[in-house]
Amino acid sequence: MEERPPLPATGAERLLFIDNLRWIMILLVISMHSADTYSPFGNWYYVDRKPMSLASVIAFAAWQMYLQSFFMGLLFFAAGFFVPASFRKKGPAQFLRDRAFRLGLPVLFYMFLLGPITEYFLSHSWNSTEPTSFPHEWIKHIRNGEFLQENGPLWFCLALLIFSAFYAAWRVLRPRPEVAGNNESSLKAPLLAGFALVLAAFTFFSRLPLPPGWSLLNMHIGDFPQYILLFSAGVIAARTRWLQNLRLASGVYSLLAALTVGLAAWFLLLKFGAFAQNGSVFYSGWHWQNAAFSFWESSSCVATSYALLAIFRNKFNSQGPVARFLSANAFSVYVFHPPILILGARLLHPLVLPSLLKFVVLTLIASVASFALSAIVFRRIPLLRAIL
């Protein structure tokens, strides 16, 4: 395969592959929530789960666990990559005001308006034993504190706001010159392997005291070692030539390893440990399954993230009209896709189709509808346009 020469240290064109990766990851987010709707795994507002074959169960498990191993971490990496330049340009006060506006307001919008509308009118996940109304349930939702846990997919924005605040505090306490793209370096296999081992260790130990799936403000704390380290790696990458020096061949080899050796390792874990304590030992406690799964998940994260960055940097570092459209609407789709996806699932409910096929159809419908409505409706509303 022909490889492009390293990109220049400056120039906005080198960032297009990151934009392309971000809208791809958001399509994968829609895919994950579509899978949550039909598979036996995961939590989602509305589920339509039917009996299915063992092969379908394994297919869902493989898809969801593999996506979970890297896709949100890669979004945190991309976010972290742009933080140093924004901080240098705006200074700490303006940087934090901008982050509060661009990240905090969408979180509040979802917690107090879009989330409640989704739960009450579409998913019907607000249950009441007596005749009620939306205003009554909304007030109760606020009064009992449930809204703190109901930020939906916008937990990502809340976490990113927290990370940005910590970054700003660190830069204020330890000021130093910082010039993007100044340091010549490249990602070598030993560095990637060491990063994966550190990530696996932090993941394992963070999950020891926690019950599986435990969350705070809808943020699954057992996954945060990955998010913190990937965000930090993005910040470091902004000061180096890591992304400029990524080679296509090494990315392809890394992806092949993740999809062959990684998949084989996943099947072995499934075979020898999946059914112990209903699979909860994969995510907590002093169990070999927790240690092994933490290592598999971290290795998959590093291998796949590196592969996608290298492949997109060399092959998808440009945008035509379609890619520009998808990139421009990606964040809006991330915010608004839950009610659209749930409505699609309800429309598909009467159809007698295999769950895997419904998952594929729902992913396509929700993706097309979300991007179309984003461009035609949501981003044309003045109050929303400013934060989307």
- 180 burial level (CB within 10 Å; 0-12, 13-18, 19+): middle
Euclidean distance between CA atoms 69 and 296, whole angstroms: 9
Task: With CA atoms as reference, report the closest residue to 347 among 13, 18, 122.
Answer: 122
Residue carrying the six token digits 């599986």: 212
> Phi/psi at 29 (nearest 5 deg)?
-60, -45
Q: Are 318 and 12 in contact (CB under 8 A)?
A: no
| Residues contacting residue 321 through CB under 8 Å, at least 6 positions apart | none
What is the token pair recorded at 61? 């498990």
User: Which residues in the chain come in under a pLDDT of 50?
Assistant: 1-13, 180-181
Q: What is the pLDDT of residue 272?
A: 79
What burial class does residue 144 get, using C-beta atoms within 10 Å of its C-beta: 0-12 exposed, 13-18 middle, 19+ buried? exposed
Q: Alpha-carbon distance 113 to 109, whole Å?
A: 6
- Asked if residues 88 and 178 have their Cβ atoms less than 8 Å apart, the reply is yes
- Chain segment 21-42, per-residue pLDDT in tens: 999 999 999 999 999 999 999 8
The predicted structure's pLDDT at residue 2? 35
Nearest-angstrom CA–CA distance, 152 and 107: 9
Q: In whole angstroms, how far apart are CA 16 and each of 5, 156, 231, 312?
A: 16, 22, 19, 9
pLDDT recorded at residue 10: 40
End-to-end CA gap in the chain: 38
Q: Per-residue pLDDT tens for 189-242? A: 899 999 999 999 999 999 988 787 788 889 999 999 999 999 999 999 998 878
Angle at the Cα of 155 (from 355 to 76), degrees rounded to 5? 95
Give 349-363 as a DSSP string: TTS---HHHHHHHHH
pLDDT recorded at residue 187 = 80
Task: Name beta bridge partners: 219.
Answer: 216
